[in-house]
Every structure is written in structure tokens, then in C-alpha cells.
Structure 1
Amino acid sequence: MSISISSRDDADGFQILLDRQSALDIGAFVVDGTDLAPGIAIPSDGDLRIDHALQGFFFTCGPDHVRHPEPIAGGPEGRLYPLHGSLCGTPVGRTEMTGADDRPGCFAETSVDLADGGTALVSRHWAISDDASEITLSDRVTNTGETAFAPMLMYHMNIGGWLCGESTLISGAMMADGSEHFLFGEGDSAHLCLPAAETAVDGWARLALGPFEALGGRSLQVRFRVDTLPFLQIWRCQRGTADVVSIEPVSHRIASRTALAEAGELPLLHPGETIDYALAFRVG
């Protein structure tokens, strides 16, 4: 069963549907009657958790791994971190509605069994800004296990590619020329990963995807904290029936876990310690 949060009751507002069965990620993001989520127009990696999550507007990789499976260092031979980490597909344990009637929010706690045998608690709070124009997310990951692990996190904001057009750009200070057409790269699928911290303002990076004709020429505007999400990954796929563009703030650059560890880029979260992440988005 999902939880609905709306900016207001009339048709000009927005609504998000939060998925209790997958860490309180977002299934639908409806603006002026248009759902930005790609639905079934996604590629499959053969993992039903990820197939379900990709259909929605927002899902979370981590907190122990992002991207494709890799061996667990020191673990049994053949044991791998799962695709996009352990959180996706984990039901929330507790939810609590927050905020005012005209600006509702939701708090949730999700206990996660990590791939290496440890445990973590994800404390998540969705809220609507005071001016009812922006959706905000605050996440705290706590190591509730008995051994340290390296926290990794990536947020996917998935948009149906059919909403984009010839004038649709990805714009932000981290982009080499300030903007890039949404059909960047070559072939039917492409991705890139850019450092975002250097061009952030007051600790937050900002970018936009748009305009969208279906939304009256407005764009999806995203901002995220760069102290724990210092990179921006962008992915698109127009392969067969798949048609999706994804904005992905992420904690680590694209490299193997071995390479990241050797470069000192996998700091450990010890038992009882916490790490915080935050982002916000709006259509405007």
C-alpha cells in the first residue's frame, strides 16, 4: 500500500506516491495530471527488485553498494554485493505522518540487512517546502551492526523519455558547456558521471531537466548536498521499448570498489555512527 503526499487538492498541484514495500521510495510523481515516472518503459537487468523500482520516479541504491554487482572483499568466494545494493525492495518498518494539513510529510525507518552480514537503519523524511513548491528528502543511515561498513548511496530520479523533446536539455554548472541535450552520447543508451562539489553553491549542487511540453514548458529542478553526494550521474536508455532518462546524485565516482578503496574513497561507518544525505526537487 502506498502513501500519498500532495501539495494541494486542486489539479494544478503535485502528488507523490510513496512505496511502503521499497524503503518509501516514490512510485508516481504526478504534476498537473502527468506522471513523470517511466512505468514499464524500462530495461531489465533480471533483478525483480530493480525492475519494480525503475518503473517508479525515485529509488535508492545503497547503503552498502551502488551500480552493478561486485565481489565482497573478504567474503566467501562468489558472494557479491547485489545490483544497486541491499536497500531496494526492503519494506519500511515504521511510518509516521508529519507536517501540516496543507504541507504533509512522512517519516519512515527501514532496517536493512547488508550484503556483508551487517545491518543498517535508514531514517527517511519526505516533506513539502513552506511555499508548497518543492519536495525535500532527508536521509540518515546508521550502522546498527557489529562491524564497520563503507556507506555508498545513489538516488535515481527516473523520467519517461517521451516527455522530452528537441529543446529538452540537462542544465547545470557541473556540465562542461553549461548544458547537454537529453539524448547525449552515442547509441541507444549512455551515461556520464560528473563532479558536482566544485561548482556547488552553499554546499548544494543544482541542475534542471527540461523544458517539457506536457508541463507547459516547465522543467524538473533538482538540488542535492555535495558533502555526501559529490557526484552527479546521468543515464538515459532508448533501447527497444525502453525510454527513460535518469538524474542520479551519487556518493562515489564510477570505479570498482577495489579502485575506490585503494584511492582512500571508501571511508568506513563504524557501529553506532551515522551519515546524512539530502536532496530536493520541484517542477517550475
Structure 2
Amino acid sequence: MKLYGRSHDRQSLARHAGDLSAAGGVRAVVLDDGSERGIRTLEFRTGGGLSFDVLVDRAMDLGGAEFEGRGFGWRSATGFRHPGLHEYRDDDGLSMMRSFSGLLLTAGLDHTLFGAEVDASQYRYPPRGTAVHALHGRVANLPARLTGYGERWQEDGRCVLWAEGEVRQAAIFGEHLRLTRRIEADLGGSEIRLTDRVRNAGFDPTPHMYLYHVNVGWPFLDEGARYELPPHRTLWRSDSVAEQGVSHTAMPAPLPGFVEQVYEHELEPDAAGLARPRLVNERLGVYFELEFDTVRFPSFFQWLHLREGAYAVGFEPSTHHVQGEAAAREDGSMTFLAPGEEREYTTAFRVGHLD
């Protein structure tokens, strides 16, 4: 592996430093102030310029992230609020907006997109004939059970930094879904690998919707940055696109009063079924790239939130179209996991220098 301009293996690292943390590693800390107080966090440092935080008590989502000291994980005014402060149906179902920050917010496990009230008769509990959902579901504000983390040397000579945990979304007379999440990054590398498995651990057919809200902020996002998409077909645009006319590829400086612009694109995958949208900042000479499987995530939303004070762009691979759960149930595209059924999602986040 390359570290600080030289090639190293396990033995040469041991000769130079008595502890791997001199090069990189994973450290467990607890945030201790303000609305973030009490959140267990894993700090990853790869030694390849990449550092990022895993918020264990926020579904093991990704919080702050930097490349060579430059931030790319979006930081909003909400901070990484403790899930104990979250009220799911606050603000008429928009309560997620009070805890929305970081590189990755996971949406699901049984609902994504805007709020909805849907049939719940499969759970056979007459007092709860319907389920009421808020924006992007519950999972992002559920703590994980941390099952392990650390550094592991592989047979091929790589040292892999890793963490794994389980998030349980369950209710009596309701869903019982379990998310097992594994996060990996190579020592010396600049890539985050995410492997998620969502399993119906209950005994009733259970709705399943899943979406990654991947958010890139300043300084990677700045005036003149480009949002690059693979060959694609645009299926839907929010009304704000025509009203404001702001480009979805050439990024402006933060704009006063900007209303979010959202697009649904059908991305053309490569031969392996993968798509790789990216944000490019030529002034800094850096890029951010998301790689995802278009079979597991057939829909992709582009989110432009270019308002001053909350400046971000989003990459949103999704299992379902932008019309949401009610429409999916009506047209037959809604996913129901049978008891014991599992879905796996593999995704990569990359940063690097432009050639």
C-alpha cells in the first residue's frame, strides 16, 4: 500500500511505528456536547487522505467526511442530533429536517420519500389498520448494536479498516426488519465500501423501500463545480426546475431563497450494472464519486439544495420511483419481503484527485 509517498507492507509499517494508529485506523469516541451529546461514533482515518465518521447511534450512517483536510460530507445547521431527541411525526411528518446532516442518511426500512398513510392489514391487528409514515421513514434515527470494528490484515497484504453493526426496526403487530451494515476502507485508500443486508425477521409479508441520501457540501461543492451524470434519461422534475431555471450540472454559488430542485434520472449502467455519478471541482482538483448497483437501485434522484446557509447536492439511489409508496402499491411495483427474505446492497463512495 502507498502511505505518505512510500510503499509499505505489514512488516515495514511495524518497523516504522509501534502502533498502526500512526498510519490510520478506527477509533471509538462519544460526542459530548449540545444536541449531539451521547452519540457513539467511529472515527476512520485511512492515511490516504480520507477521514470520516460513522454515527453508530444514527443507524451507522456517515457523518463528517474529509479528503486531505477538505470537507465533502455535508454539514447542516442541525448537527448530528441524538436520536433520543427525535419525534417521528413532528412538523407534520417533516421531522427528519431537524436531524438532517452528514455524508449519508439512510431512508427506509419500510418507507421512503414523503409521508403516507397506507394499509397495514397484513399485520392482522384491527386497532392498527393503517401505518402512518413520515418523510424517509424511521431507520436513520435508530441506534445500531455495534458488533465489531477495527483493523484487519488480509491475505493479499491489504489492511482493511472495518465496522459492523445491526439496526432493528420492529413493532408489536408491525414490521420486524433488521439492517446489518458493514463499512470498510483500505489503509492508504480513498474509498468507502458499504454493504447492507435488510432482512424480514418477522413472520408477516412486510413492505420494504430503501434509499441512500448521499449529501456533498462545501468546499467540494462550490461555484463552478460540475455534477456529472452517466448517459441518462430524465423521468421527472420538480416544479421548481422550470420556475428557477438553475442548471443541474453547473453549480452556482449559494443562492438566496433557493427552492430545492429534484430530478429523477434513469442512468445507463456499465456492463457490470453499475452507475457512477460524480461531483467534480476543477479549482480544487478533486472529485467525489458514488458507485451503486442499478439492479438493486433502479431509480436515481438528483437533489440540488443550493440555498445559502444549507448548500448541498444530493445523490439518491432508490428502490422505488419518486411518486412514493402509495403510487408503488397502486401500480404493483411495491416490494414486500416474505418472512426470512433478505436484500443486499453494495455501494462505494470515492474521492480523489483529477488526472
The one-letter code matched in structure 2 to 1:30 is E
Q: What corresponds to 1:5 in structure 2? A: 44
Q: In the alignment, is residue 139 of structure 1 matched against residue 196 of structure 2?
A: yes
Q: What corresponds to 1:254 in structure 2? A: 322
Partners of 2:56 and 2:146 within 8 A in 1: no
CA RMSD between the two structures: 2.9
The one-letter code matched in structure 1 to 2:42 is I
**Bigger proportion of residues as helix:** 2
Q: What corresponds to 1:31 in structure 2? A: 67
Distance 2:173 2:302 in 1: 28
Query: Are residues 182 and 271 of structure 1, via their aligned partners in 2, closer, same or farther at CA, if it must alter by over 3 Å?
Result: farther
CA deviations 1:175-199 (Å, max 9, x no partner) are 459x82245xx95320111123x43
Over alpha carbons, which structure has the higher Rg? 2
Q: What corresponds to 1:238 in structure 2? A: 306
CA deviations 1:30-64 (Å, max 9, x no partner) are 1111222332257x967796246521111100011
Q: In the alignment, is residue 265 of structure 1 matched against residue 333 of structure 2?
A: yes
Q: What corresponds to 1:88 in structure 2? A: 140
Q: In the alignment, is residue 148 of structure 1 matched against residue 205 of structure 2?
A: yes
Query: Are residues 86 and 109 of structure 1, via their aligned partners in 2, closer, same or farther at CA, if it must alter by over 3 Å?
Result: same
The one-letter code matched in structure 2 to 1:262 is E
Query: Are residues 141 and 175 of structure 1, via their aligned partners in 2, closer, same or farther at CA, if it must alter by over 3 Å?
Result: same
Q: What corresponds to 1:110 in structure 2? A: 167
Structure 1 length as normaliser, TM-score? Answer: 0.85
Secondary structure at the residue paired with 1:258?
A: helix
Aligned length: 275
Q: What corresponds to 2:294 in structure 1? A: 226
Distance 1:257 1:116 in 2: 20
5+ residue gaps, structure 2, are 1-39, 79-89, 122-127, 154-158, 235-247
Q: What corresponds to 2:82 in structure 1? A: none
1:57 to 85, 91, 103: 103
Q: In the alignment, is residue 280 of structure 1 matched against residue 348 of structure 2?
A: yes
Query: Are residues 114 and 180 of structure 1, via their aligned partners in 2, closer, same or farther at CA, if it must alter by over 3 Å?
Result: farther
C-alpha displacement at 1:78, in angstroms? 7.4
Partners of 1:72 and 1:116 within 8 A in 2: no
CA deviations 1:207-250 (Å, max 9, x no partner) are 1111164xx31110111011111111111223353212111111
C-alpha displacement at 1:27, in angstroms? 1.0
Partners of 2:211 and 2:319 within 8 A in 1: yes
Q: What corresponds to 1:100 in structure 2? A: 152
Secondary structure at the residue paired with 2:277?
A: strand
Q: In the alignment, is residue 199 of structure 1 matched against residue 269 of structure 2?
A: yes
Counterparts in 2 of 1:178-189, with a 5 A limit? Answer: 180-182=249-251, 187-189=258-260
Partners of 1:114 and 1:120 within 8 A in 2: no
Q: In the alignment, is residue 209 of structure 1 matched against residue 279 of structure 2?
A: yes
Secondary structure at the residue paired with 2:139?
A: coil
Identity %: 23
C-alpha displacement at 1:263, in angstroms? 2.2
Partners of 1:64 and 1:114 within 8 A in 2: no
Query: Are residues 65 and 16 of structure 1, via their aligned partners in 2, closer, same or farther at CA, if it must alter by over 3 Å?
Result: same
5+ residue gaps, structure 1, are none
